[in-house]
Amino acid sequence: MTKDKLINNINFRSNCSISKTLDLLGDKWSLLILRDVIFFDAKTYSDFVRRPEQIPTNLLAQRLKKLVEDGLLEKIPYQNNPIRYEYIATEKCNTVKPILTAMKKFGDEHFLKA
């Protein structure tokens, strides 16, 4: 992935790094898909569908496509006849981990004890 590729097709609201990060990842599903790749070893379409949040399949397909376009995941064939793909974390994907870790800490603090 190039840096250019990461910023393709996004109308950034401002030059702020936080705002741009939210423009890239700030929907309710993209970060969960990356969580599944990074922490739960999810790779295939059915891995993602099986997760407890039960992402609708149309949204999963959209988000996977966009995450590949943005250089966060790589789509690799792992089987022929019929061809099947798996989604692998790129180096850039791993830089999302601190965001997820901070969210986990916030969630653990405010929800686990509730």
Query: Residue 42 Cβ, how far from its own copies at the closest point, in Å?
Result: 13
Closest CB to its own copies among residues 27, 47: 27
- CA-nearest of 22, 2, 4 to 14 is 22
Angle in degrees, 0-180, between the axes of helices 30-40 and 97-107, rounded to the nearest 10: 100
Closest CB to its own copies among residues 5, 84: 5
60 lies in the site for its own copies, by CB under 8 A: no
Contacts of 13 (CB under 8 A, 6+ apart): 19, 23
52 lies in the site for its own copies, by CB under 8 A: yes
- CA-nearest of 69, 47, 50, 49 to 58 is 49
| 74-113 residues near its own copies, rule: CB under 8 A | 92, 95-96, 98-113
20 lies in the site for its own copies, by CB under 8 A: yes
Query: Residue 82 Cβ, how far from its own copies at the closest point, in Å?
Result: 31
Residue of the chain from 50, 54, 56, 65 that contacts its own copies (CB under 8 A): 54
What's the Cα-to-Cα distance from 17 to each of 4, 13, 60, 95, rounded to whole Å?
15, 10, 26, 14
Per CB under 8 A, residues contacting its own copies are 3-4, 6-7, 13-23, 26-28, 31-32, 35, 51-54, 92, 95-96, 98-114
